[in-house]
Amino acid sequence: MSIRNYDREKCTGCGICIAGCPMDVLRLDKAAKKAVIRYPGDCVACWGCESFCPLGCFDVSPERGRGELVSPY
C-alpha cells in the first residue's frame, strides 16, 4: 500500500499530482476533473503528490507499492 487515502471529493483536477508523479501512477479523468489512481502498485512512496497537492488530497504511506528495499549491508 502506498497511497492510503485520496480525497476524491476535494480534488479539482488541477493535474499537479499527475505532473509530479515519477512513476506514472496517476492519470487525469478529464470529464470528471479528478485525478485517478490508475497504477497503484507502482507507487514508490516518494510523497511527490502529497507534498505538491495544493488541496491536501493525498495521504501516502512509507511503504512502496511493490517490494521492499534491498539492504545496503
Partner 1 sequence: MKNINELGTVINTDVLVLGAGGAGMCAALKAKESNVDVLLIDKCGIGWNGQVPIGGGILAYVYPEYVEKWAEKVTRDSNFFNNQDWAFAFGKYMHKSTLDLAAMGLTFLKNKGELDILTWGPNIHVTLFDAPKSLVALKKTALARGVKMMDKIYAIDLLKRDGQVVGAVGLGLVDGQTYLFNAKSVIIATGNCGYMHEKTYSSVQGEGPAMGYRAGAQLINAEFGSSYVWGIKALGKELMGIHFYLYLENARGEKIMGKHYPELMVGKHSVYTFDPRVIDAMQKEVKAGLGPIYLNLMGLTDAEIAGLAEDRVEGLTQLIANDTMKLLREKAGIDPSREKMEMWPRYLYSGGGLRIDIHGKTTLDGLWAAGGASSNSWSGGGGGQAGLGVQSAAVTGFVAGENAARYALDNHRLEIDFSSAKQILERVLAPLHLKGNLDAAEVVYRVHEAVVPMKYNRQREAGRMKEALGIVQDARNKLNRVGAADFHELARYHAAESMVMAAEFTYQAALMRRESRSGHFREDFPHRDDKNWFKWITIQHQDGAPRLSTLPVPLEKFKLRPQ
Residues that bind partner 1 (CB under 8 A): 15-16, 18-24, 27, 38-39, 41-42, 44-48, 51-52, 60-62, 64, 66-67, 69-73
Q: From residue 53, give the alpha-carbon distance in Å to each of 6, 12, 24.
A: 11, 10, 16
Phi, psi at 49, each rounded to 5°: -60, -45
The distance of closest approach from Cβ of residue 22 to partner 1 in the complex, given in angstroms and rounded to an integer, is 3
The distance of closest approach from Cβ of residue 64 to partner 1 in the complex, given in angstroms and rounded to an integer, is 8
Radius of gyration of the chain (CA): 13
Nearer Cβ to partner 1 (34/64): 64
